[in-house]
Amino acid sequence: MTVSFFVTYSTIMTDLEPIRLAGVADRRPLVIAGPCSAETEAQTLDTARGLAAAGIRIFRAGLWKPRTKPGGFEGVGAAGIAWLQRVKRETGMYVTTEVATRSHVEAALAGGIDLLWIGARTTANPFAMQEIADALEGRDIPVLLKNPISPDLELWIGAVERLRNAGLRRLGVIHRGFTSIDRSRYRNHPMWAIPIELRRRFPALQIFCDPSHIGGRRELIAPLAQQAMDMGFDGLFVEVHCAPDQAWSDKTQQITPQVLVQLIENLTIRETTTTDCLDELRTQIDKLDDRLLELLAERMRVACEIGRCKKEHGMPVLQTRRYEELLARRTTQAVELGMDEEFMRSVLQAIHEESIRQQMGTIDEK
Ligand code: PEP
Ligand code: MN
């Protein structure tokens, strides 16, 4: 059932096209950069000039800022369109801004904005997405959709689908990380498996990484950008400000145009062609995965035995203390073996969840 559903889905989405802007080289990484917010005309122009001198061709700046709480800087609104038009005229860069409502779309289209992006809070809302799709009906403008704040791949795909239904084809996505209850060094947890699954299902969809909103801190931007390139992402969407420490929003994650230049120069771009040695290594991985799955199935069988034993002795399924001990011991061991602690914790959590599910099944057996 599920499989045929997704087959239908991918057939629908094979006609997507890259965002393609005349004169912008189709080379990885395609970089879109600019301030979190357009604050003043001078700050917008100053940042844009620095980026243009660095060879950046697409300039981002938020005019309408979706803030978590009221009272923060909520953007200059439509007044900033004239500043972006000046950026276009004076630097020759393409410009993009975030839209969240029909009136934003109308103002952006009337103002000659070249590319639109949709923010994480908006992608998460099907009503807002439909309103934007209706406002864009029949228009040929490239649009990039950020992932929704929650790790919900279907919601992300649904948002792309709404724009596609409105006739848009030049669509791409921006991976900006997900809100997570786990403590983490990131502002938004990258959960790379989600954009990777999106790529697997819809290879025609261009994927950008927003290392600024994932990292939340300047020092995390370069390593995240490298990771995105290693995973075959097409581009980077980076917050750049002429004076980051004075920024009116997201100041801890903005970098200067000069730092961006360094970051791009230091990236290693590996091309994704298959070679014989890769085939050999993939065969090894497949064999290891076979063993992993067999071991997991065996572990589940033992877990079910435990379930039966607990039932016989009238014990509860979930024994928190034992689970805590297991987590602590195995995460320490994982670190000793060169793996990430958080990675091991999520693997163990997933295994544990499935064990509990199977144990409950065993207990419910008459
Ligand atoms: C932004 O790009 O400035 C922004 C508001 O991002 P997000 O929607 O990812 O939070
Ligand atoms: Mn921002």
Task: Please say whether the beta carbons of 127 and 171 come within 8 A.
Answer: no
The whole-number pLDDT of residue 151 equals 96
Best residue among 176, 189, 212 to mutate for probing ligand 1, ranked by most atoms within 8 Å of CB: 176
Query: From the CB of 187, is ligand 1 less than 6 Å away?
Result: no
Residues 145-197: pLDDT tens digits? Answer: 999 999 999 999 999 999 999 999 999 999 999 998 877 899 999 999 999 99
How many CA atoms are closer than 13 Å to the CA of 53, on its beta-carbon side? Answer: 11
Query: From the CB of 176, is ligand 1 less than 6 Å away?
Result: yes
**Closest ligand 1 atom to Cα of 174:** 9
The whole-number pLDDT of residue 12 equals 60
Distance 89 CA to ligand 1 centre (A): 26
Distance 212 CA to ligand 1 centre (A): 9
Closest ligand (CA of 60):
1
- pLDDT of 270 > 70? The answer is yes
Distance 85 CA to ligand 1 centre (A): 21
Provide mean pLDDT across the span 64-69. 91
Query: From the CB of 213, is ligand 1 less than 6 Å away?
Result: yes
- pLDDT of 271 > 90? The answer is no
The whole-number pLDDT of residue 272 equals 63
Query: From the CB of 60, is ligand 1 less than 6 Å away?
Result: no
Shortest-distance Cα residue to atom 3 of ligand 1: 36
Provide mean pLDDT across the span 236-240. 98
The whole-number pLDDT of residue 281 equals 87
Query: How far is Cα 186 from Cα 310, in angstroms, rounded to an integer?
Result: 40
The whole-chain average pLDDT of the chain stands at: 92
Provide mean pLDDT across the span 3-11. 44
Please provide residue 54's backbone torsions phi and psi, each rounded to the nearest 5 degrees.
Answer: -85, 0
Question: pTM value?
Answer: 0.80
Task: Please say whether the beta carbons of 270 and 32 come within 8 A.
Answer: no
Closest ligand (CA of 179):
1
Distance 250 CA to ligand 2 centre (A): 5
Query: How far is Cα 228 from Cα 187, in angstroms, rounded to an integer?
Result: 17
**Closest ligand 1 atom to Cα of 176:** 9
The whole-number pLDDT of residue 192 equals 96
Task: Please say whether the beta carbons of 242 and 256 come within 8 A.
Answer: yes
Provide mean pLDDT across the span 94-122. 98
The whole-number pLDDT of residue 8 equals 45
**Closest ligand 1 atom to Cα of 117:** 2
Numbers of helices and strands, H then E, in the chain? 14, 8
The whole-number pLDDT of residue 335 equals 95
Distance 267 CA to ligand 1 centre (A): 24
Query: From the CB of 120, is ligand 1 less than 6 Å away?
Result: yes
| CA 304, chain centre distance (Å) | 37
Q: Where are the beta strands (DSSP E) in the chain?
A: 30-34, 58-60, 94-98, 115-118, 143-146, 171-175, 206-209, 235-239
Best residue among 213, 214, 241, 254 to mutate for probing ligand 1, ranked by most atoms within 8 Å of CB: 213
Query: From the CB of 146, is ligand 1 less than 6 Å away?
Result: yes
Query: From the CB of 214, is ligand 1 less than 6 Å away?
Result: no
SS3 label, residue 242? coil
Residue 209, strand partner residues: 175, 236
Query: How far is Cα 208 from Cα 272, in angstroms, rounded to an integer?
Result: 17
Query: From the CB of 62, is ligand 1 less than 6 Å away?
Result: yes
The whole-number pLDDT of residue 2 equals 37
- pLDDT of 9 > 60? The answer is no
Six-digit token pair at 194?
Answer: 């989600």
Provide mean pLDDT across the span 313-335. 90
